[in-house]
């Protein structure tokens, strides 16, 4: 996003999310899987969006053990970088099969401000969760009922390009 919160582009997404091709999903996919991204990018199948956005990278299955990729940004501007993650069937004592569908725990959203001309590593921090049912793109601040969802990743960092 730009400094004003306007969506610019997607840097990385799994192929299942991009194609809306989930195992045992309805025709429109699973908007609850990555609701913040689906709404921001205009790809929310629940909202009936039309045009698909350009993507910088699409992976196969969710990678294990880490991902490193490069993306060029205008170094004269500030940005907001967000990462939304989800692990299907991630149930716990609060998010059960009865009240949370396929998701279990909702998606988690991490974010950070990347200032113009940044020179040191910036780590994204947990901002909250996506909508449990995919009905909106709001980041919900409540995280107290999350367990394993908070540990899908150990670190998300942005580093400046080497000269």
pLDDT under 50: residue ranges of the chain: 46-51, 54-60
Q: Count the domains in the chain.
A: 1
Residue 60 pLDDT: 42
CA distances from 48 to 7, 28, 126, 132 (A): 18, 9, 29, 18
- The pLDDT assigned to 106 comes to 96
Is-above-0.75 flag for pTM? yes
Tokens of residue 144, six digits: 């107290």
Residue 17 belongs to domain spanning: 1-163
> Given this model, what pLDDT does residue 23 score?
64
The span from the CA of 101 to the CA of 99, in Å, is 6
The Cα–Cα gap between 37 and 47 comes to 13
CA–CA separation, 95 and 69 (whole Å): 33
Spatial contact of 127 and 40, defined as CB atoms under 8 Å apart: no
Q: What is the pLDDT of residue 126?
A: 97
What does DSSP assign to residue 103? Answer: T
């Amino acid at each position: 996003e730009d400094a004003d919160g306007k969506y610019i582009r997607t840097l990385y997404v799994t192929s299942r999310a991009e194609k809306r091709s989930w195992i045992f999903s309805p025709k429109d996919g699973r908007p609850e899987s990555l609701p913040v991204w689906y709404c921001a990018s205009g790809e929310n199948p629940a909202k009936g969006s039309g045009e698909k956005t350009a993507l910088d990278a699409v992976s196969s299955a969710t990678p294990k053990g880490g991902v490193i990729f490069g993306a060029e940004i205008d170094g004269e501007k500030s940005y907001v970088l967000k990462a939304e993650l989800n692990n299907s069937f991630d149930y716990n004592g609060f998010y059960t099969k009865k009240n949370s569908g396929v998701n279990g725990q909702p998606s988690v959203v991490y974010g950070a401000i990347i200032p113009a001309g940044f020179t040191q590593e910036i780590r994204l921090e947990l901002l909250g969760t996506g909508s449990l049912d995919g009905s909106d793109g709001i980041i919900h601040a409540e995280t107290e009922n999350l367990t394993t969802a908070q540990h899908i990743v150990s670190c998300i960092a942005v580093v400046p390009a080497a000269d």
